[in-house]
A and B are shown apart, each in its own frame.
Chain A
Amino acid sequence: MAQMGARSVAESAKRLLTGPLRLLDDLGRQAEFYGKSIAWTPKAVKSYKTEQVRLIAEVGMSSGALAVIGGSSVITLFITLFAGVTGGVQTFDALQNLQLEALGGFASAIINPRLLTPIVAGAALAATVGSGFTAQLGAMRVSEEIDALEVIGVRSLPYLVTTRLVAGMITIIPIFAMAMCGAWIGWKLTQVDFFGLSEGTYDHYMDTFMQWQDVLYSFAQAVGIAVVVILIHTYYGYTASGGPAGVGRAVGKAVRTSLIAVLAVELAISMALYADSDAFRISG
C-alpha cells in the first residue's frame, strides 16, 4: 500500500514536471506544421490546380448536410444578420436611456466594422469551414487515406493542407463581405423599421462617422482570422488519432482552440491598427 502510494506520488510528480515540456513539444510541432504548410504555397498553387478549384467551391458552398441549408456563406450571413439585430436592439435601448437614440447610425458605423463583424464572422468561419476541415482530414487520417497518399508519392501536406489554406484565404473575402452587409442590414432594419428611428437621421449619422479605413482594416482582420482558423483546424484534423471517436474529440479541441485564437488575433490586429492616437475622429 505504502509502496503503491509512493509510486503514484512519483508518477504524478513526473507528470507535473514533464507537463510544461509536453506543452512545449506540442507547440513546437504545431509551429513546424504551420511553417511547412505556408512554405508549400507556391508548389501547391502550381501543381494542384484542379484540387484547388474544387476546394474553393467546397469552402464557399460546403458539402453534406450543411450545403442543404445554404453552405458556409449563407450560414455566416444568417448569423451576422441576427447579431446585427441584437446589436441594434441593445444599443437602441442604451442610447434611449441617455435620450440619444438618434445616434443609432453612429453606433452602427463604429461597432459593426470594428467589433461585431470580425468577432461573429470569425466564430462562424471556425464553426463552418474550420471544423468541416478537421472532420474531413481527421476521417482521412484514421482511415489511413493520408498514409495511402504518401505511399503513392503525393506529399500530403501541400496536397491537403496548403490547398485548403489558399482556398480559405480566397473565399474569406466574399464571405466576409456578405457578413458585413448582413450586420448592417440587421442593424438598420431593427432601428429604422422596428423602433421607428427616422431613416434620414440614421443614414446621416452613419455616413458622417463611417470611415472607409475601418472596412479595410476589418478585411485585414478577416484574412488574419482565416489563416489562423484554417491552420489550427487542419492541424488537429491532420494529427487526429483514436478511431472515429478520436475524430469527434479532435473537432471539439480544434473549435475550442480556434475560438480563443480568433479573438487573440483580432485583439492584436486591432490594437496594431487602431492604437494610433487619431484612429478615431468625431469630425474631419
Chain B
Amino acid sequence: MPAAPRSVLPDGGVMAAPTLTRVVKPIGGFFAFTLDTFVAMFKPPFQWREFIQQTWFVASVSLGPAILLGIPFVALVTFQFNLILVEIGAIDLSGSGSGFATVTQIGPVATTFIIAGASSTAICADIGARKIREELDAMEVLGIDTVQRLVVPRVLATAVNAFLLNGVMILIGLSGGFVFGVFLQGASPGQYVDSMKLLVGYPDLVHGEIRAVVFGVVGALIGCYRGMTCAAGPRGVGNAVNETVVYTFLALFPINILLTQIPYSLGIVGGH
C-alpha cells in the first residue's frame, strides 16, 4: 500500500488543504466533463456505429443480471407486502401493491442497481483499459476528440438501455408478483389483475421511465469519467471500477429523491 502524499510540514492545519483538493478537484473535473459531453452530443458527426455497438455491449452485460436480480427483488417485496395483506384479510389487493411498488420504485431502483453494478463498471473497465494502454492519448494525438468518439455514444447507449431495462423490470415485477400472490399466497388471479391499476397510472410509468433514463446518463458519465482519469497499473483500474460503483450509488439515490418528489409536489403524478 503506497502511503498517501503527505505534507512535509508537521503542522496539522497544512494537512487540510490537500485533503480538500482531493475531494473538490474530481467533482469539478466531473462537472466540466459532463458539460463537454453535452456539448459534444450535438456536434456532428454522430458516431452511429459506435453507438449501436455500445448499445449492444451494454445490453449484453446488463440484461442477464437484470433478469436474475429482478426476480428475487420483486419476490422479496411482494412476499412481505402480502404477509400484511393476509393479516388484514385483503390478499385480493395484492395486485395493487405489486403494481404500485414495481412501477414507482422497484423498477427505477433495480435499474439503478443494474446501471451502477453492471453497465457503469463494464464501461469504466473498458475505458480504463484503453487509458492505461495509452490508446486515449494516441487518439488525442491523431486529433480525434475522445469525448465525442467514445463518451457520447456510451452515455446515449446506456440511456437507451436504462429505458428498456426499466420496462423489463416492470414486466418481471408484475409477473413475479402474480406468481407469488396467486400461486403461493392465495390471491385470486382476476382480482390481482383488476386491482393492479388501483394506485398507479400512466403518468407514474412515464415518471419512472424518465428517472431510469436520467440514472443511465449519470451512471455512464461517472463510469467514463473515472475510467478516463484512472491511474496506471493493476491497482489503478481496479480502484477506478470500485469507485465507479460507489460514486454511482452515492449519486443515484439523492437524484432519485429529487426526481421522485418534484413531480409529486407539482401534482403531475399521484392522486388517483
Give a binary string over A136-166; 1 marks a CB under 8 Å from any B CB, 0 the rest: 1011001100000000000000000000000
Cβ-defined contact, B253 with A139, below 8 A:
no
Cβ-defined contact, A90 with B104, below 8 A:
yes
Which residues between 164 and 201 of chain B lie within 8 Å of chain A, taking CB atoms? 199
User: Does B250 sit at the interface, judged by CB under 8 A?
Assistant: yes
Question: What chain B residues lie within 8 Å of A248 (beta carbons)?
Answer: 124-126, 128-129, 237-238, 240-241
User: Does B33 sit at the interface, judged by CB under 8 A?
Assistant: no
Measured CA separation A31–B122 after assembly (Å): 25
Cβ-defined contact, B80 with A114, below 8 A:
yes
- Residue of A at shortest CB range from B237? A248
Give a binary string over B59-76; 1 marks a CB under 8 Å from any A CB, 0 the rest: 001000100110011011
User: Does A281 sit at the interface, judged by CB under 8 A?
Assistant: yes
Measured CA separation A270–B125 after assembly (Å): 34
Contact of B257 among A86, A119, A260 (CB under 8 A): A86
Question: What chain B residues lie within 8 Å of A90 (beta carbons)?
Answer: 104-105, 260
A contact residues, range: 35 or more
Cβ-defined contact, B23 with A86, below 8 A:
no
Cβ-defined contact, B118 with A79, below 8 A:
no
Which residues between 28 and 75 of chain B lie within 8 Å of chain A, taking CB atoms? 61, 65, 68-69, 72-73, 75
Cβ-defined contact, B132 with A97, below 8 A:
no
Question: What chain A residues lie within 8 Å of B232 (beta carbons)?
Answer: 244
Which of B83-91, B136-144, B212-220 binds A? Answer: B83-91
Measured CA separation A238–B68 after assembly (Å): 24
User: Does B159 sit at the interface, judged by CB under 8 A?
Assistant: no
Cβ-defined contact, B80 with A136, below 8 A:
no
Which residues between 232 and 284 of chain A lie within 8 Å of chain B, taking CB atoms? 243-245, 247-252, 255-256, 259-260, 263-264, 266-267, 270-271, 274, 279-282
Question: What chain A residues lie within 8 Å of B235 (beta carbons)?
Answer: 135-136, 139, 247
- Once A and B bind, how many residue pairs between them come within 8 Å at the CB atom? 187
Measured CA separation A280–B84 after assembly (Å): 7
User: Does A85 sit at the interface, judged by CB under 8 A?
Assistant: yes
- Residue of A at shortest CB range from B105? A90
Given contacts A86-B256, A259-B113, contact A79 B125 (CB under 8 A): no
Cβ-defined contact, A65 with B260, below 8 A:
no
User: Does A110 sit at the interface, judged by CB under 8 A?
Assistant: yes
Question: What chain A residues lie within 8 Å of B88 (beta carbons)?
Answer: 282
Cβ-defined contact, B253 with A82, below 8 A:
yes
- Residue of A at shortest CB range from B23? A68
Cβ-defined contact, B128 with A245, below 8 A:
yes
Question: What chain B residues lie within 8 Å of A259 (beta carbons)?
Answer: 65, 69, 113-114, 117
Cβ-defined contact, A131 with B234, below 8 A:
no
Measured CA separation A89–B104 after assembly (Å): 11
User: Does B5 sit at the interface, judged by CB under 8 A?
Assistant: no
Cβ-defined contact, A127 with B249, below 8 A:
yes
Question: What chain A residues lie within 8 Å of B233 (beta carbons)?
Answer: 139, 143, 244
Q: List A residues at the B interface (Cβ < 8 Å).
A: 63-66, 68-69, 75, 78-79, 82-83, 85-87, 89-90, 93-94, 97, 110-111, 114-115, 119, 123-124, 126-128, 131-132, 134-136, 138-139, 142-143, 243-245, 247-252, 255-256, 259-260, 263-264, 266-267, 270-271, 274, 279-282
Residue pairs across A and B with Cβ atoms less than 8 A apart, 13 shown, are A63-B1, A82-B256, A132-B242, A135-B238, A135-B239, A138-B238, A247-B235, A247-B238, A251-B245, A252-B61, A260-B68, A267-B76, A279-B83
